[in-house]
Structure 1
Amino acid sequence: MTETSITESTETASGTGTTGSAFATAAARYRPIFARIAAGALDRERNRTLPTEQIGWLKDAGFGAVRIPVELGGDGLTWPELTTLLIELAAADSNLPQALRAHIALVEENLVRRRRGEDRGVWLERFAAGQLAGNAWTEPGAGGTATILEDTPSGPTLTGRKYYTTGTIFADWIDVTARRPDGTDVSVVIATTTPGVRTDDDWDGFGQRLTGSGTTEFTAAAVDPANVSPFADRFPYQTALYQHLLLVALAGIGRAVVVDAAEQVRRRTRVFGHGNADLVRDDAQILAVVGEISAQAYAAEATTLRAAHSLQAAFAATGGAREREAVVATELETGQAQIVLSRLVPEAAGALFDALGASSTSQSRALDRHWRNARTVATHNPFIYKARIVGDREVNGTEPPLIWTIGEADADRRAARDRQPTVVG
C-alpha cells in the first residue's frame, strides 16, 4: 500500500488529513528511523533481541512527544496523523507501537487533564525531553487489583505483582493501577529506578515477543504522593485508546504482509508444472492471492484511520453530554474495528503462504511471524465480547462498558456462578 493511499483515506474521512506542515515535518524526521528499524526486524525476531536500541532511536528523535503541542516541545499531531505514522512504524516492527502503548496513553492522560485546566507542565516537559512510560495494570488478583498503595510514616509505598507490563522494561516511568487498603482504586506513576521495583522479560507468547511485556514486581517501593490520583479521574476514552493502538499494530502487520508477499513472489524462480506461467510473478492465480492480501491490508488501514477520527473527536469534546457521546462513539468504533481486524489480518498473514511454496515456511525467513504477531494482538481484549457489546448497542441502545478489569473472580461472583442451574439439552 502506498503512502498516498493512506493520506487520501485520512483526508476523505475528515477533510483534514496528513498534509499539514506539522505532519510533514514530523514524518520527514521519523521515517528514516522507521526504515532503520525495519532493516533489523528479521534478525531481532530470529534472535529474540529486545528492540532496546531501536526504542532509543525513537526516544532521542522525540517520537514520545508526537501528541504534545509544538509550543511545549512536541510535534502537535492529531490522532489521524499520529495513527498514520504508527501504522508505518508497525509495518517496520509491530512490537514497537505496542511497546509504546502505555506511554502514548499516559501522554494523553496529561493532555486531557491540561485541557481541564490542571497544571501538567512537569509531565509534559519530561515527555518532551524524551522520557518514556510503561504499563503495570494487569494481574490475577481478585477483583482485578491486588497491588496495594499503603501509607507509612515515611510516605506511601507500593507492593504487588503485575503481568503483561508492556514497554516497562524500556521505560523511565511506570503507570500503575493500585488499591488503597480501604478499597479505593488509584493511579500511581513511579520511576523504574525506584528501589523495590523489578521488571523481568519473561513474556513467553508465540507472537509479539519483543514488546517487553514481562512481569513487574513492587516491594514496598516508595511513591511520590504527587504522583497518586484517583483512578476514577482518568481520561474517559482510555479503553478505546488502548484498543486503538492494537488496531494500529494489526494494520501495520497487514502492510508488512503485503510487502513480503509482493517481494517473495517477485523474486521466486521455481514454478509448479501445473501452474499458469513460466514465472510466478506472471501467474494469474498467484497475483489474485496477492491482490486479496493487499485489499485486506487496505481495509485494515482505512478502518483504523476511521477510528482515529473518533479518538480525535473524544479528545476535542469537553464536558457534559457531548463528551459522553464522543467517548461512547469511540469505544464502539474501536470495538467494531477490532471485531473485523482480529479476523481479517491473521487471514491475510496466513494467505501469504498460499502465494508461495513450502520453502516459505523456512525458519530463516520467519514469515510466520506476521501470523503469530497478528493472532497474538487479536487475543487482547477479546473481540467476542466486543461483538456482543456492539450488538447490544444496536438492538437495545445499551452503552458499552468503558472500564473493565481482568483477574480471578472474587468469592461472591464465583458463588453466584456456582449457584446457576445446569441446563441439559
Structure 2
Amino acid sequence: MTTIDATSTSVDGNSVTDIETGGENFTPESTLDRWIAESSGFQVAPAQESAFAAELREAGLVTTLGLLAPVDFGAAVQFVRRIAVVSLGVAADAADLVEAVAYVDKFGTSDQIAQVEQATAAGRPVGVAIRTADPAGLGQDDVVAASRVRSKWKSHLIVVPVDAPGGARSTALVSIVDGAVPVAGTVVEKESLLVGSRVRSGVELVLWSAALLGGVEQVVNAAAVVAREHGKPWSGRTYERVIDDPYVIVRFGRLRAEFHAVDRLLRDTVAGSDADHVAAAELLYSAASQLVTLVYTELPELVGAGAENSDELWAAATTLRRAALRKSVAWVESIAGQSLLKADADTGSVQPTPVVAESGIPVLRSHEEAVAVARALADRLAVDAVARDHDRRHGFAELQDLARTGLLGLTVPTEFGGSGASIATVIEVVRIIATADGSIAQILQPHFGALDVIDLTGTPDQKRYFFAEALGGARFGNATGELGTKAAGDIRTRLIHSPDGGFKVDGNKAYATGSYSADWVPVSVRDPAGNRASAVVSRTAEGVEIVDDWSGFGQRTTASGSARFTGVRIFEHHVIATWRAGEGSHLMGATANLVHGAVNVGIAAGALAATKNYVLTKARPSKDLPIESVVEDPHVVRRYGLLAARLAVAESGLARAADLVDAAGVDQTPASISAATIAAAETEALGSEIGLEIASELFALSGASSSRSELGLDRFWRDIRTHSLHDHMIWKYHQSGDALLSGAYYFGNRRTLY
C-alpha cells in the first residue's frame, strides 16, 4: 500500500465556493464574455482575481471543463486560453483541472474515471500535484509524498505523479475528504495507480501554451490601446502620435504575425493528433515561450515614452514573463530535439489514384490526391536538385514531369473541367515542392497567378480556351517587370493596333520567371486607352526572345532572365483586360503573397530536413567532447528542437492565411478580404525570417564539413535569401501593425480607412 503526504494548498475559502450552482442564464461562457468585455485590457488585480474565479465557479466552470476535457479536449484548451486573457492565475487552475481529467480519462480504470466524472459533475475540482517530493518514489516501504497541489481551488481528487520500482512512471489518484488536505499516513491501494508520464507532460504543455497565448493576446491588445490613446512619440521624431511611427508600426506587426501563427499552431497541435502527442506539444510550448520573450523584450518601445498606464502594462508583461518560467523552455526544446532526430518510419499509407482526363493528364479532384502527387514529384525533384543548382541547369525534364502530374490545372474552376482546388491545397502543393526545389516551386507562382487573372477578368471564351490549355499540361510564365522605371511595377510596354487586325507589342521585360520553358507568356502592357492589360503570347511566336541571363546567387534555375518582344503579333482574344479587376479590392495579391510564402516555408522545411539527415549520417562530434555521436550533444539537440518549433510556427501561419483567403473567396466583404490580405503578408514575411534562420543555423548544427560545395547545403540559404527579396518584407509587417493600430484595411498594397 502507498502512503501519500500532501502539503496544504493555498485556498481562499471565503471567496471560492466549494459546490457550483450554474444556471441556464448564468454560464461560464457568458461570465467570461462579460469579464473580457468589462476588463480594462490588463490582467485583473489580485483582489479581482478571486471574484473572477468565484463567478466562474458559480457559473459551472468545473463541471463544464470536467465534461469537455475527455470529450472535446480542443474546446477545453480554447476555454483555458480565453480565461488567460483576464487572469493567468485562474487559467492555471483551469488548466490543472483539464490536465487531471484528461489524464485519468486516458489511463484510469473505469472506477477512477467514474470518480472524476462524479466529482466534476458536482462542481468539485480535480487537482494536480507538482511532483513527487520523495525522490525514492515507490520504494520498499511503498511511501511517496506529493510536494504540493498547484490549484488554489479546493481539490477533492488529486493526481500525483510517482516513480514506481524499476524506473517506471506512474500516477496515484488520491481522494480528499470534504476538501481537506490529506495528512501523512493516508492509505491508497496500489490499484489506484495509473500508468504513463510523458502523456501527461504533453497535455500540460498544450494547456500551459494556451494560457500563455491568452496572456500574450491581452498584453499586445492592451499595448495597442495604450499606444493609440496615450502613446507619445520619442523625442526628435516628427510624428504627432506614436502610432504613426513606422518603427513602432512594424514592431506591432511583427508581434501580431508571430501571435497569429503560434495561435494557429495551438489549434493544429490539438486537432492534428491526440492530446498526448508530446513532440508536437513540445514544439508548441517552445513557440509560445519564445513569443512571450519577444513581447516582453519589445514592449518598452511599443507605447512610447511617458505613456499613461505604462506601469500597468509593464506589470502585465512581467506577470506573463514569469508565467513562462513554469517550465524550462531549453529543456523542453532539448527533449523535442532528441525525439525528432531519429530516422523516420515508413507509414506505408495507400495513396489515392487520380482520375485521368482525355489528354492523359489526371484531374486532381481532392486535396489528398494533389498532396500525394506533389510528394511523389518532390521525391523526383530531390534526386538531382543539388546538381541542377550547381550547374545552373534549367529543369526542362523536371518541368515536363510537372506538366504530366495534373498539378498545373489545380485552380481551374470545376465549370471548366478543373478541380477548383482550394487555396489551402495549392499552397500545400507549392510548399511540398519547395522542400525539394525552391526554383521549380517559384515557377508555379506566375502560372497560378496567370490563371487567377484570367479567372477574375477574362471573358468566358478566354477562360474556356486558356483553362483547357492548363488542363492539358500547358504552363504559363510571366513578362511583367521592367527595368529603368521610376518604381517597381510601372509599365511602359504598350499594345499598338496592327493594320491587319489585332495588336503588336514591342518591349523589354526582366525577371521573366519560368518563361524560358513555358508554353504561354502573359506580357503586362498598357492597351491603346492606357489601361493595364495582359497580352498572352505563345513562347514560340515570331519576335519572342526569352533569354536565360539570370545571374542571381540563389534560385538559380528559375530562368528569371530577360524577355524581348519585337513586333510580336497579339490576337485580340488573347488580351486580358486586367484593369477590370479594379485597384486591388480582390484576393489576387493575397494569393500571390501566399504562394511566395509557401516557397519560403518549403525551403525552410527542406533545410531542416537536410540538417537532420546530415546530423544523423555525417556529422561528427568534437574530439574534445566525451560523446559518441552529435545527437548526444545537448546544444545540438536543443537548437534543433528550437528550429523545429520555428518551422512549425511558419507552417501554421501559412495554413491560417490560406484558410482566411479561402474563406474570403466565399464571403467577399471588405473586412474578410483585408484580413486575408494582411494574413498573407504576415506569413510571407514570417516564413522568410524563419527560413533564413533555419538555413543559416544548418551549418552551426552540422559542423565545418557541411560547408563543402559538393553537398549543396548552401543552396537553401541562397535560395531563401534570394526569394525573400521578391517583396519588401518589412512592409508586410507594416501592414499588419497599421491595421491593428489605425484600423486600416488593405487590398493588395492599397490602404483604406473606413
TM-score (ref. length: structure 2): 0.49
* 1:199 equivalent in structure 2: 546
| Contact 2:650–2:690 (8 Å) recurs in 1 | yes
* CA deviation string 1:275-294 (max 9, x = no partner): 35221122221111221221
* 1:37 equivalent in structure 2: 381
* 1:371 equivalent in structure 2: 717
* 1:53 equivalent in structure 2: 397
Q: Is 1:183 aligned with 2:527? A: no
How much has 1:112 moved relative to structure 2? 4.0
Give the distance between the partners of 1:51 and 1:297, measured in 2 at CA.
Answer: 28
Q: Is 1:170 aligned with 2:517? A: yes
Say which of 565, 575, 578 aligns to 1:228: 575
| Contact 1:168–1:212 (8 Å) recurs in 2 | yes
Give the distance between the partners of 1:313 and 1:384, measured in 2 at CA.
Answer: 26
How much has 1:118 moved relative to structure 2? 7.5
Q: Is 1:402 aligned with 2:727? A: no
Give the distance between the partners of 2:270 and 2:416, measured in 1 at CA.
Answer: 27
Give the distance between the partners of 1:342 and 1:292, measured in 2 at CA.
Answer: 17
Change in Cα spacing, 1:215 to 1:222, as seen in structure 2 (3 Å) is same
Q: Is 1:136 aligned with 2:479? A: yes
Moved more, 31-40 or 70-79: 70-79
Moved more, 119-128 or 95-104: 119-128
Query: What amino acid maps onto 2:617 in structure 1?
Result: R
Change in Cα spacing, 1:283 to 1:383, as seen in structure 2 (3 Å) is same
| Contact 2:365–2:419 (8 Å) recurs in 1 | no
Partner SS state of residue 221, structure 1: strand
How much has 1:223 moved relative to structure 2? 0.5
Change in Cα spacing, 1:70 to 1:399, as seen in structure 2 (3 Å) is closer
| Contact 1:66–1:75 (8 Å) recurs in 2 | yes
* CA deviation string 1:103-151 (max 9, x = no partner): 111222334458x978721121111111110111111234611111111
Give the distance between the partners of 1:138 and 1:327, measured in 2 at CA.
Answer: 26
Q: Is 1:84 aligned with 2:431? A: no
Query: What amino acid maps onto 1:356 in structure 2?
Result: S
Query: What amino acid maps onto 1:149 in structure 2?
Result: L
Give the distance between the partners of 1:216 and 1:339, measured in 2 at CA.
Answer: 29
Change in Cα spacing, 1:156 to 1:229, as seen in structure 2 (3 Å) is same
How much has 1:212 moved relative to structure 2? 1.8
Give the distance between the partners of 1:331 and 1:215, measured in 2 at CA.
Answer: 30
Structure whose alpha-carbon radius of gyration is higher: 2
How much has 1:396 moved relative to structure 2? 1.7
Moved more, 263-272 or 245-254: 263-272
Query: What amino acid maps onto 2:449 in structure 1?
Result: A
Q: Is 1:105 aligned with 2:452? A: no
Say which of 33, 49, 67 aligns to 2:411: 67
* CA deviation string 1:139-198 (max 9, x = no partner): 123461111111121231111111111111121111221113553222221111111111
Change in Cα spacing, 1:191 to 1:269, as seen in structure 2 (3 Å) is closer
| Contact 2:546–2:563 (8 Å) recurs in 1 | yes
Partner SS state of residue 726, structure 2: coil
Query: What amino acid maps onto 1:251 in structure 2?
Result: V
How much has 1:95 moved relative to structure 2? 0.9
How much has 1:46 moved relative to structure 2? 1.4
How many percent of aligned residue pairs carry the same amino acid?
26
Partner SS state of residue 664, structure 2: helix
- Ranked by relative contact order (alpha carbons within 8 Å, sequence separation 6 or more), the top structure is 1
| Contact 1:250–1:300 (8 Å) recurs in 2 | no
The 5 Å alignment of 1:1-400 reads: 9=268, 22-69=366-413, 72-112=416-456, 120-140=463-483, 141-142=485-486, 144-154=490-500, 155-234=502-581, 236-268=586-618, 270-275=620-625, 277-318=627-668, 322=669, 324-400=670-746
Moved more, 25-34 or 346-355: 25-34
Change in Cα spacing, 1:276 to 1:145, as seen in structure 2 (3 Å) is farther
| Contact 1:177–1:231 (8 Å) recurs in 2 | no
| Contact 1:101–1:167 (8 Å) recurs in 2 | no
Query: What amino acid maps onto 2:677 in structure 1?
Result: E
Give the distance between the partners of 2:537 and 2:631, measured in 1 at CA.
Answer: 54
Query: What amino acid maps onto 1:104 in structure 2?
Result: F
Change in Cα spacing, 1:146 to 1:153, as seen in structure 2 (3 Å) is same
| Contact 2:550–2:559 (8 Å) recurs in 1 | yes
How much has 1:72 moved relative to structure 2? 4.0
How much has 1:313 moved relative to structure 2? 2.2
Partner SS state of residue 273, structure 1: coil
| Contact 2:533–2:575 (8 Å) recurs in 1 | yes
* CA deviation string 1:305-354 (max 9, x = no partner): 11111221233245xxx2x3332222111111223222211011111111
* CA deviation string 1:7-65 (max 9, x = no partner): x949959xxxxx99722233333432221111111111111111111111010122101
Partner SS state of residue 478, structure 2: strand
Change in Cα spacing, 1:131 to 1:21, as seen in structure 2 (3 Å) is closer
TM-score (ref. length: structure 1): 0.85
Moved more, 118-127 or 240-249: 118-127
Give the distance between the partners of 1:164 and 1:11, measured in 2 at CA.
Answer: 42
* 2:112 equivalent in structure 1: none
Partner SS state of residue 133, structure 1: coil
| Contact 2:477–2:520 (8 Å) recurs in 1 | yes
Task: Name structure 1 gaps, 5 residues minimum.
Answer: 14-18, 405-425
Query: What amino acid maps onto 1:130 in structure 2?
Result: G
Cα RMSD of the aligned pairs, angstroms, is 2.7
Partner SS state of residue 55, structure 1: helix
| Contact 2:682–2:736 (8 Å) recurs in 1 | yes
Change in Cα spacing, 1:208 to 1:189, as seen in structure 2 (3 Å) is same
Partner SS state of residue 709, structure 2: coil
* 1:421 equivalent in structure 2: none
User: What count of residue pairs does the alignment treat as equivalent?
Assistant: 390
